[in-house]
């Protein structure tokens, strides 16, 4: 069969990973990004063992990427540890680590392996359509690009989703105030991610490498609020030493708001020669740190199903197979990802009674799911 061509809207984590996955399956790919360059902004993201396993399988080495996380801990507002999840258990079993990596580092690593000229910058996608024999992408510079199929990986406010489905993400009434700065506290140079949870909300901390701490506060409210005032009002009375150090180091110039949004995860993400991937298909609040991980799973599955197709019709059918394969998992993660963990914090006494081994083994199960994907290739 003649090599298939694909156009991808958006060069974020999902668009770049999808370009890798499709190119590995013999598809000729063009990615259209509205930014004038790759958007390296943002704080850090957590990649669980499944996410790093997918990166490796796409040919993106993870050995020197970010900071390897050995445990994920939960503390009370007074700084008592109530549970600890051993992340090395799944690493030993499946061979891929959990890491905390700055978004800039991850975007650089994903773009490094793509042929020069794969990504086209500076024009935003405004419309997309299935023309029957081709898929069409319109850009705001007036240009029109076609391919055998089209992937909308243009993030939570996806123009491709608007063109083919018309629905938008709902605001959940919570905002994450986040930063990536040098903070002299116990988490910065360690190998543990920490979530401190109380009735007022949550403070998360991850080591991010090079003396930087990724920190964030989840609170009810909007991005129009004054971030510094909001976090001091909500968390100022917490006794946890590290939280107080982060509060003291948090300046408005270092803080970005991240509004919690949720899409309805539909059974059908696209139609005809068009589908969606990553946040365009399934945005949710960041509480389980699954945004980048699920975007990588989408990319990997797309590459695999399209790689099996040998005719044009089979390629279109492969897009539906991809949606079938991804729907259940994405819907489950969406249902589990909420601010609920902070709305009704479980009593410490209950959490303390949960054996760490049980939670660590549940974490390993999640990685096993992806490992099964990878080994079924
Ligand atoms: C600037 C930025 C900072 C972020 N910071 C964090 C963070 O600190 N922590 C965290 O956990 N997650 C962060 N995220 C979200 C995280 O990257 C995603 O949830 C996850 O990686 C899924 O990625 P995605 O590629 O589906 O979406 P995104 O990462 O949102 O990427 C979408 C890409 O599409 C481009 N795009 C959007 N609209 C159009 C259009 N109409 N035409 C063409 N291109 C378009 C965007 O510029 C972007 O490059 C950030 C995302 C962005 C864009």
Q: Which fold has domain 5-170+261-375?
A: FAD/NAD(P)-binding domain (3.50.50)
Find out whether the beta carbon of 257 lies less than 6 Å from any atom of ligand 1. no
Give the least confident one: 5-9, 233-237, 314-318, 347-351.
347-351
pLDDT per position as a tens digit, 116-164: 999 999 999 999 999 999 999 999 999 999 999 999 999 999 999 999 9
345 φ/ψ angles, rounded to the nearest 5 degrees: -60, 130
Q: Which atom of ligand 1 is nearest to the CA of 38?
A: 49
pLDDT tier at 94, thresholds 50, 70, 90: confident
pLDDT per position as a tens digit, 54-74: 999 999 999 999 999 999 999
Q: Which residues have CB under 8 Å from 297's CB, separation 6+?
A: 50, 51, 54, 326, 329, 370, 373
Average pLDDT over the chain reads 90
Find out whether the beta carbon of 125 lies less than 6 Å from any atom of ligand 1. yes
CA separation for the pair 42, 66 (Å, rounded): 14
pLDDT per position as a tens digit, 194-228: 999 999 999 999 999 989 999 999 999 998 889 99
β-strands 201-209, 192-198 pairing: antiparallel
pLDDT tier at 111, thresholds 50, 70, 90: very high
Find out whether the beta carbon of 198 lies less than 6 Å from any atom of ligand 1. no
Q: Which residues have CB under 8 Å from 167's CB, separation 6+?
A: 161, 263, 264
Q: Which atom of ligand 1 is nearest to the CA of 279?
A: 26
Tokens of 364: 């390993």
CA separation for the pair 87, 188 (Å, rounded): 18
Q: Which residue has the higher pLDDT, 296 or 367?
A: 296
Residue from 107, 127, 110, 115 nearest 35 by CA: 107
Q: Are 245 and 187 in contact (CB under 8 A)?
A: no
11 φ/ψ angles, rounded to the nearest 5 degrees: -115, 50
High-pLDDT (> 70) share of the chain, % = 89
Q: Helix, strand or coil for residue 193?
A: strand
Find out whether the beta carbon of 187 lies less than 6 Å from any atom of ligand 1. no
Q: Which residue has the higher pLDDT, 335 or 19?
A: 19
What is the per-residue pLDDT for 376? Answer: 57
Q: Which residues have CB under 8 Å from 225's CB, separation 6+?
A: 175, 257
Give the distance (Å) from ligand 1 centre to CA of residue 220. Answer: 22
Find out whether the beta carbon of 174 lies less than 6 Å from any atom of ligand 1. no
Find out whether the beta carbon of 163 lies less than 6 Å from any atom of ligand 1. no
pLDDT per position as a tens digit, 154-195: 999 999 999 999 999 999 999 999 999 999 999 999 999 999
Q: Are 217 and 177 in contact (CB under 8 A)?
A: yes
Q: What is the DSSP string of 83-112?
A: EEEETHHHHHHHS--EEEEEHHHHHHHHHH
Q: Are 216 and 174 in contact (CB under 8 A)?
A: no
Determine which residue's CA is closest to atom 12 belonging to ligand 1: 45
Find out whether the beta carbon of 155 lies less than 6 Å from any atom of ligand 1. yes
Determine which residue's CA is closest to atom 27 belonging to ligand 1: 155
CA separation for the pair 203, 200 (Å, rounded): 10
What is the per-residue pLDDT for 357? Answer: 59
Find out whether the beta carbon of 128 lies less than 6 Å from any atom of ligand 1. no
Q: Helix, strand or coil for residue 142?
A: coil
pLDDT tier at 288, thresholds 50, 70, 90: confident
Find out whether the beta carbon of 38 lies less than 6 Å from any atom of ligand 1. no
pLDDT per position as a tens digit, 217-258: 999 999 888 999 999 999 999 999 999 999 999 998 889 999
Find out whether the beta carbon of 179 lies less than 6 Å from any atom of ligand 1. no
Q: Are 193 and 221 in contact (CB under 8 A)?
A: no
Pocket test for ligand 1, best of 51, 103, 119, 302 (most atoms within 8 A of CB): 103
355 has a pLDDT exceeding 70:
no
What is the per-residue pLDDT for 347? Answer: 47
What is the per-residue pLDDT for 68? Answer: 95
What is the per-residue pLDDT for 367? Answer: 60
Q: Which atom of ligand 1 is nearest to the CA of 15?
A: 25
Give the distance (Å) from ligand 1 centre to CA of residue 356. Answer: 34
349 has a pLDDT exceeding 70:
no
102 has a pLDDT exceeding 90:
yes
Give the least confident one: 8-12, 293-297, 320-324, 339-343.
339-343
């Amino acid at each position: 069969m003649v090599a298939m061509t694909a156009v991808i809207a958006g060069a974020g984590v999902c668009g770049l990973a999808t370009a890798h996955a499709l190119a590995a399956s013999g598809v000729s790919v063009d990615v259209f990004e509205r930014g004038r360059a790759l958007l390296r902004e943002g704080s850090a993201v957590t990649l669980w063992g499944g996410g790093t396993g997918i990166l490796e399988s796409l040919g993106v080495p993870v050995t020197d990427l970010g900071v390897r996380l050995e445990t994920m801990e939960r503390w009370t507002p007074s700084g008592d540890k109530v549970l600890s999840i051993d992340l090395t258990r799944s690493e030993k079993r499946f061979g891929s680590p959990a890491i905390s990596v700055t978004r800039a580092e991850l975007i650089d690593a994903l773009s490094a392996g793509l042929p020069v000229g794969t990504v086209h910058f500076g024009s935003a996608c405004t419309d997309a359509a299935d023309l029957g024999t081709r898929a069409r992408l319109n850009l705001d510079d007036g240009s029109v690009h076609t391919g055998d199929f089209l992937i909308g990986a243009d993030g939570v406010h996806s123009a491709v989703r608007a063109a083919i489905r018309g629905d938008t993400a709902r605001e959940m009434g919570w905002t994450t105030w986040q930063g990536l700065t040098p903070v002299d506290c116990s988490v910065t140079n360690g190998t543990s991610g920490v979530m401190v949870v109380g009735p007022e909300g949550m403070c998360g901390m991850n080591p991010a490498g090079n003396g930087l701490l990724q920190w964030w506060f989840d609170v009810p409210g909007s991005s129009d609020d004054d971030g510094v005032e909001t976090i001091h009002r909500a968390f100022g009375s917490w006794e946890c030493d590290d939280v107080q150090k982060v509060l003291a180091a948090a300046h408005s110039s270092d803080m970005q708001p991240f509004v919690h949004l949720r899409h309805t995860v539909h059974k059908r993400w696209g139609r005809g020669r068009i589908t969606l991937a990553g946040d365009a298909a399934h945005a949710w609040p960041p509480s389980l740190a699954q945004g980048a991980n699920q975007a990588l799973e989408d990319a990997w599955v797309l590459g695999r199903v399209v790689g099996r197709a040998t005719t044009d019709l089979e390629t279109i059918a492969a897009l539906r197979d991809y949606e079938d394969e991804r729907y259940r998992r994405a819907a489950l993660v969406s249902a589990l990802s909420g601010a609920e963990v902070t709305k009704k914090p479980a009593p410490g006494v209950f959490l303390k009674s949960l054996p760490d081994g049980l939670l660590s083994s549940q974490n390993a199960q999640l990685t096993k799911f992806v490992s099964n994907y990878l080994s079924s290739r």
